[in-house]
Amino acid sequence: MKVENIVLLFFFSLIIMSCSSGEKTVKLNEFGYESVAYPYYELPPELKDNTLYSKKISDNYSYMNSLKIFLDPGHGGTDRKNTSRDKTVVEADINLNVAMHLEKFLEDSGAEVIFSRVNDDTVSLEERVRLANNSGADLFISIHHNATADSANYWTNYTSTFYHSMPWNYGYEPYEHQIAKYVQRDLAYAMRNPGSLASFDGTMSDFLINRDNGFYVLKYTLIPSILVECSFFTNRLEETRLSIDEFNKVEAWGIYSGLAKFFSENIPEIYFVGDESLLSDDTLKLVFTVNDIYPFNRSGLKIYYNMMETQFEYVEPENKIELILQEPAAGEHEVKIIYENDQNIFSKPFIRKIVIN
């Protein structure tokens, strides 16, 4: 072999080495876009282009900036037993990582963010609920990743978003179910995952997991609450994606997008106007009003008095809802009002205790 050939050979082997271990080279296919190999995920345009990101954030600012959002990354501290099959993914860590990325998007949009934990700390379910109930937040979001009960099952993977209770129960809040739908759709889309097959839209009642009780953090939080199970870390392909920080950011963007779309809706609100405690014959009249940009939708209003659906009067010119109680017993009573406007948007949960002496 001639000397020039040896030099040439050395030169070629250098090129080959640099291709295999050097910087990632982008190969465009015949259609002009990048060929991909697994682990596959799609970066949302806003995470590729700062101008698009800034535009989206400023578009969302006006309805996000007054919000306070409580983020609850599941598990952590002594609770680190949930891991992927190859042990590269610890659920507690990816829950926290997704929450941290979500915090950035929310704070850029002007929202205030509160956490149940920001480190690998042990926080009991009771403590998470206590922190949430003292936070004055508009929404509690618990962030989790899922596992199959059968350890041999490595194929199941989907996104699901949980709300508390079942539609026919008093503890059910359609407002929470509605937020779950918005978050579920955009989270599943961002991750390119199907939704859970337990429902048509991928949202699930926590009663499907714990019958008649649901999840502790959804049952006992007094503020609106949802829980996301972003995907299955027990899935043999998903475990690879979940261990990539940029993919956790994609997950956070999915949750953020769903929230932003939801809060851009005109959400009706119920207010207590007052009581006219003394009508004749020990009759008490309680007066409420609906704040909404759309005309009043009578069939969308339900009032519960001590957990029983009850009749009411609507005084149209004054937009007043009147609840008349005949000879109410002394003690504490509860009024709950649910309102769905003619755009099918539900009011924020409204529950008020009335004390009669």
User: Of 27, 47, 32, which Cα lies nearest the Cα of 253?
Assistant: 47
Question: Contact, 201 vs 185, CB < 8 A?
Answer: yes
Q: Which residue is nearest to Zn ion (CB)?
A: 144
Q: Does 336 bind Zn ion (CB under 5 A)?
A: no
HSE at residue 226, side-chain half, CA atoms within 13 A, is 26
Q: What is the C-alpha to C-alpha distance for residues 73 and 123, in angstroms, rounded to an integer?
A: 10
> What amino acid occupies position 131?
L
Tell me: does residue 73 bind Zn ion (CB under 5 A): no
Q: Judged by CB under 5 A, which of 44, 73, 74, 268 binds Zn ion?
A: 74
Comparing C-alpha atoms, which of 210, 103, 85 is closest to residue 148?
A: 85
Residue 41 and residue 230 in contact, taking contact as beta carbons nearer than 8 Å = no
DSSP states of 145-161:
EE--SSTT------BEE
- DSSP state for residue 335 in the 8-state scheme: E
Q: Among 69-77, 98-106, 206-214, 318-326, which window interacts with Zn ion (CB under 5 A)?
A: 69-77
The size of the interface with Zn ion (CB under 5 A), counted in residues, is 2
- Smallest distance from the beta carbon of 176 to Zn ion, in angstroms? 19
Min. distance of Cβ 81 from Zn ion in angstroms? 10
The minimum distance between CB 226 and Zn ion, in angstroms, equals 14
The Cα–Cα gap between 336 and 330 comes to 19
Q: How far is the CB of 96 from Zn ion (least distance, A)?
A: 12
Q: How far is the CB of 74 from Zn ion (least distance, A)?
A: 4
**Number of neighbours of residue 217 by Cβ within 10 angstroms:** 24
Among 101, 117, 144, 177, indicate the residue that binds Zn ion (CB under 5 A): 144
State in angstroms the smallest separation of the CB of 83 from Zn ion: 12
Residue 195 binding Zn ion, by CB under 5 A: no
Stretch that binds Zn ion, among 40-48, 104-112, 137-145, 172-180 (CB under 5 A): 137-145
- Residues contributing to the site for Zn ion (CB under 5 A): 74, 144
